[in-house]
A and B are shown apart, each in its own frame.
Chain A
């Protein structure tokens, strides 16, 4: 009997602390699978954020650094500048990146830092308990937008993949989601491409992943998956916003 599906070797035996229906576990797994398939375990350093993935350092048998809230791209800059041949992955959520860490991610893009950013966008503060993020949709309920997000008080949602694609230092920017097997496969292809571009020595590679947060959204997992298709992708369209590798071909 051949094994067709198993836990990636790069994972530890630690129990993942994500909620049921959360996308982080899938995304962690995809990263693990690619690291393993590409034989990069020995060369990988992952910078984790503050948020639901703050314990993810415990799930991987690679070097891991947990940065302060929003600062992962700055820490990643220090790591990549001193370890140019390593695969440096900066993993951030939307509260971490788009609020507290907006300066850090923008300037990492402006400088064209040669690492990969995995940006998990669930349009809410997950770990802190469902508060509004800059990525929260218009009229979306959160504990700090109890009557729905209103533009006159909180502005409009921020589309990071498009913003980052607009920076000359960005080599590759794509938005994907993990709400179906087909989309999970596309997400894996995007992450794989980003890692490849990094290992070729290119500038910032940025993968935004729309991820369900049933707990924060106060939905059942199946509803959350459907909500991504029906509502979230209206604000955050899927697609490639920049691919210098493709343009060169």
Chain B
């Protein structure tokens, strides 16, 4: 690993992305993501980066699609309202096999909403948002360190599967300052044989299109896409388990709220409750494998989110026994305290 610094989440991600060979940034300012474009704009001359402030998120996402089509590493950063506009490009990039990276610093919706940390975009990020049968890999960091670590990982996964990757932070992770060990500088792997960067000596010409040519062709195209998503589901489910071995109740939380749950577990255990935590790291693919061993047991699941209950549906599907799944969420940009969550646990289970 590289140097250790005390850094804000968004800036740490931007620095880590630059070190990961992401030379191209296209973005539109929106709270709480703006430190990422600001960092790129500031570093552009000295680091030889390309920074373009786009007219809309629609354009920013499509510019990322353009640079990804040439096989170079490019990204944008936004928040929920901007991601809504980018959804048509997400559908396009996934279908066209374009490995762009998008940061969504989540804030509470719907509509204009508020600007504090929230998880209101879970459904939009994991269920599509754009049109058609497509999926994007979504990584949800719970610390500044993990946020920075996801910069190189997101590009690796995007290029491995030729699919866009979303890093879903939130207002809390984005703005928080922590000690972080930044990644080593790496060089971009070079030209890809599928990319549209001008043949420039390549033997064949390349063609990137998402326009169907009759229903049979388009069904075959879609089946190939589904094979890609199934491979991702099989290989890339990521999660962390904390104190689950003897737990009667397992909390399920991701991102910044999972940090709060760490203290809730401690408090609960000090008070004689056997509570653990499953923390999804990929929210798509949802880590359903983490729940397989609890089939037919009495283990209870307590899902908490900074929304009205979005991931809880995936937990219910994974547990396959919704009577064992409870939910508690806060809205508006409010993060519950560890004690508040502990009191909720007591109310539900004592």
What is A's interface to B at a CB cutoff of 8 Å? 41-45, 47-48, 50, 54-55, 57-58, 60-68, 71, 74-79, 81-83, 85-87, 103-104, 106-107, 111
Once A74-B63, A82-B70 are accepted as A-B contacts, the answer to whether A43 and B200 lie under 8 Å apart by CB is yes
- Assess whether A103 is in contact with B55, with CB atoms less than 8 Å apart: yes
In the complex, whether B16 has a CB less than 8 A from a CB of chain A is: no
The reply to whether A79 and B210 form a contact with Cβ atoms under 8 Å apart is no
B197 is an interface residue with CB less than 8 A from chain A: yes
The smallest C-beta distance from B257 to any residue of chain A, in angstroms, reads: 35
- Point out the residue from B63, B66, B88, B213 that lies within 8 Å of A65, measured CB to CB: B66
In the complex, the chain A residue whose C-beta lies closest to that of B56 is A103
Chain A residues, CB < 8 A from B74: 78, 82
On whether the beta carbons of B201 and A79 are closer than 8 Å, the reply is no
Interface residues of B in 202-218 (CB under 8 A from A): 205-211, 213
Interface string of B195-238 (1 = CB under 8 A from A): 01111110001111111010000000000000000000000000
Give the size of the chain B interface in residues (CB under 8 angstroms): 39
Give per-residue flags for B65-76: 1 if the beta carbon is below 8 A from chain A beta carbons, else 0. Answer: 111111010100
B209 cross-chain contacts in A, Cβ below 8 A: 48, 57, 64-66
Shortest beta-carbon contacts, A-B, top 4:
A78-B66, A74-B62, A78-B67, A75-B66
Name the one of B56, B62, B92, B207 contacting A78, with C-beta atoms under 8 angstroms. Answer: B62
Question: Is residue B260 contacting chain A, with contact meaning CB distance below 8 A?
Answer: no
* B52 and A75 contacting across the interface, CB-CB below 8 Å: no
State whether A71 touches B70 (Cβ < 8 A): no
Beyond A68-B62, A82-B24, A83-B198, list 15 extra A-B contacts (CB 8 Å): A54-B211, A60-B205, A62-B205, A64-B207, A64-B209, A65-B209, A66-B209, A66-B211, A71-B62, A74-B54, A75-B63, A81-B66, A103-B59, A107-B55, A107-B59
Contact status B24-A81, CB under 8 Å? yes
Can you list 28 A-B pairs with a CB-CB distance of less than 8 A?
Answer: A42-B198, A43-B198, A45-B198, A63-B197, A64-B205, A64-B207, A64-B208, A64-B209, A65-B196, A65-B209, A67-B62, A68-B89, A68-B92, A74-B63, A75-B65, A76-B66, A77-B52, A78-B24, A78-B66, A79-B69, A81-B63, A82-B50, A82-B74, A82-B197, A86-B197, A103-B58, A104-B55, A107-B59
At the interface, yes or no: B26 with Cβ under 8 Å from chain A? yes
- Residues on A with beta carbons closer than 8 Å to the beta carbon of B319: none
B156 to chain A, nearest CB (A): 19
Chain A residue contacts of B72, Cβ below 8 A: 82
- The reply to whether the CB of B64 lies closer than 8 angstroms to some CB of chain A is yes
Residues of B within 8 A of A61 (CB): 205
How far is the CB of B38 from the nearest CB of chain A, in Å? 19
| Complex interface: chain B residues within 8 A of A77 (CB) | 26, 52, 59, 63, 66
A63 B66 Cβ-Cβ under 8 A:
no
Residue of B nearest to A60 (CB): B205
Interchain CB contact under 8 A, A83 and B211: no
Question: Which residue, of A48, A62, A77, A87, has the highest number of chain B Cβ atoms within 10 A?
Answer: A77
In the bound complex, residues from chain A placing their C-beta under 8 Å from that of B58 are 71, 74, 103-104
Residues of B within 8 A of A44 (CB): 198
User: What is the bound-complex CA distance between A76 and B67, given in angstroms?
Assistant: 9
**Residue pair B211, A79 in contact (C-beta under 8 Å):** no
**A78 and B65: CB pair below 8 A?**
yes
Which residues of chain A are within 8 angstroms of B196 by Cβ–Cβ distance? 45, 63-65, 79
Question: How far apart are A85's CB and chain B's nearest CB, in angstroms?
Answer: 8
Identify which of A42, A60, A65, A103 contacts B208 (C-beta below 8 A).
Answer: A65
Inter-chain contact A42/B211, CB cutoff 8 Å: no
Chain B residues whose C-beta falls within 8 Å of the C-beta of A60 in the assembled complex: 205
> B53 — nearest CB in chain A belongs to which residue?
A111
| A66 vs B66: C-alpha distance when bound (angstroms) | 10
Contact check, A58 vs B207: say whether CB atoms are below 8 A apart: yes
CB <8 Å contact, A78 and B69: yes
- By a CB distance below 8 angstroms, the chain B residues around A76 are 66
Cα–Cα, bound, A57→B50 (Å):
28
A78/B64 contact (C-beta < 8 A), A60-B205, A66-B210, A103-B58 known: yes
A5 and B88 CA atoms in complex are apart in Å by 43
In the assembled complex, which residues on chain B have CB atoms less than 8 Å from the CB atom of A111? 52
For B52, B68, B74, the residue with the greatest tally of chain A CB atoms inside 10 Å of its CB is: B52
Q: Which of B54, B56, B92, B207 has the most CB of A within 10 A?
A: B207
Instruction: A82 to B213: give the CA distance in the assembly, Å.
Output: 30
Which residue of B has the minimal Cβ distance to A80? B66
Return chain B residues, CB-CB under 8 Å to A82: 23-24, 50, 66-67, 70, 72, 74, 197
Q: Complex formed: what's the CA distance from A83 to B92 in Å?
A: 21
In the bound assembly, the distance between CA atoms of A42 and B50 in angstroms comes to 24
Query: A62-B205, A82-B50, A83-B70 are contacts. A75–B198 as well, Cβ < 8 Å?
Result: no
Taking CB atoms, residues of chain A closer than 8 Å to B199 are 41-43, 62-63
CB distance from B57 to the nearest CB of A (A): 11
